[in-house]
Chain A
Amino acid sequence: KQEVTQIPAALSVPEGENLVLNCSFTDSAIYNLQWFRQDPGKGLTSLLLIQSSQREQTSGRLNASLDKSSGRSTLYIAASQPGDSATYLCAVRPVSGGYNKLIFGAGTRLAVHP
């Protein structure tokens, strides 16, 4: 059974820091991994999608890497800003057990203070 874990559960940093959010999954047989951002009381905003054949994806100050064999992904946020404060979720789409579903981690709650 695929399980997704995100560490740390919460993170508080001063503005301007570079930071890394971690995501690990137990079964390396995945189609892709997706990172989302969720603001309080809101839906999920897709940040980056990494296909299983890819090693990383970049969008602006965000860079996500994928090491499928070790079951790990990291989301790197450069020069953090208060507007980056949100909960960040990673999700994998497994090959087996129903590829229509996304399996989510519990998220990392990020606070960037001025």
Chain B
Amino acid sequence: SQTIHQWPATLVQPVGSPLSLECTVEGTSNPNLYWYRQAAGRGLQLLFYSVGIGQISSEVPQNLSASRPQDRQFILSSKKLLLSDSGFYLCAWSAASNTEAFFGQGTRLTVV
């Protein structure tokens, strides 16, 4: 069966520090991968998606970037965190663009 792992579960980082959140999927090949952010009191916002290695699409301009160095690995990064980057980050995968999506357990990021 397929599983998705996200880490770390929680992270407290100072303003201006770098960020790296990692997501890996097991049990499937060539998944579509997604990064979402859930801000307090707001819905989920799609940040990035990837349909293959090295193929990244950005939904909104922001202080973040994403990379897909391996087929089942998706990384969310920032060179310098802002206070507004605080939130709950969720990684997700689907077998194809229009099939069921599955989410990881999320990373709670607090920028102080």
In angstroms, Cα B97 to Cα A89, docked, is 19
Determine how close the nearest CB of chain A comes to the CB of B18; give it in whole angstroms. 24
The answer to whether B51 and A44 touch across the interface, beta carbons within 8 angstroms, is no
Determine how close the nearest CB of chain A comes to the CB of B60; give it in whole angstroms. 11
Interface of A is mostly: strand
Range of interface residues on A (Cβ < 8 Å):
20 to 34
The answer to whether A100 and B108 touch across the interface, beta carbons within 8 angstroms, is no
The answer to whether A43 and B98 touch across the interface, beta carbons within 8 angstroms, is no
Range of interface residues on B (Cβ < 8 Å):
20 to 34
The answer to whether B100 and A46 touch across the interface, beta carbons within 8 angstroms, is yes
The answer to whether A100 and B42 touch across the interface, beta carbons within 8 angstroms, is no
B44 contacts across to A, CB distance below 8 A = 89, 91, 102, 104
The answer to whether A43 and B103 touch across the interface, beta carbons within 8 angstroms, is yes
Determine how close the nearest CB of chain A comes to the CB of B53; give it in whole angstroms. 16
Interface of B is mostly: strand
Q: Give B81-101 interface residues, CB cut-off 8 Å to A.
A: 90, 92, 97-101
In the complex, which of the residues B42, B98, B106 contacts A93, with contact meaning CB atoms closer than 8 Å? B98
Which residue of chain B lies nearest to A4 when distances are taken between CB atoms in the complex?
A: B43
A105 contacts across to B, CB distance below 8 A = 43
In angstroms, Cα B46 to Cα A80, docked, is 31
The answer to whether A46 and B102 touch across the interface, beta carbons within 8 angstroms, is yes
In angstroms, Cα B43 to Cα A41, docked, is 14
Determine how close the nearest CB of chain A comes to the CB of B22; give it in whole angstroms. 15
Say whether, besides A100-B32, A101-B46, A32 and B103 are in contact (CB < 8 Å): no
The answer to whether A99 and B97 touch across the interface, beta carbons within 8 angstroms, is yes
6 further A-B pairs in the complex, CB-CB below 8 A; given A44-B92, A101-B59:
A34-B100, A44-B90, A45-B103, A46-B103, A93-B98, A101-B34
Interface of B with A (CB < 8 Å)?
Answer: 6, 32, 34, 42-44, 46, 49, 51, 57, 59, 90, 92, 97-106, 108
Interface of A with B (CB < 8 Å)?
Answer: 4, 31-32, 34, 36, 41-46, 49, 89, 91, 93, 98-102, 104-107
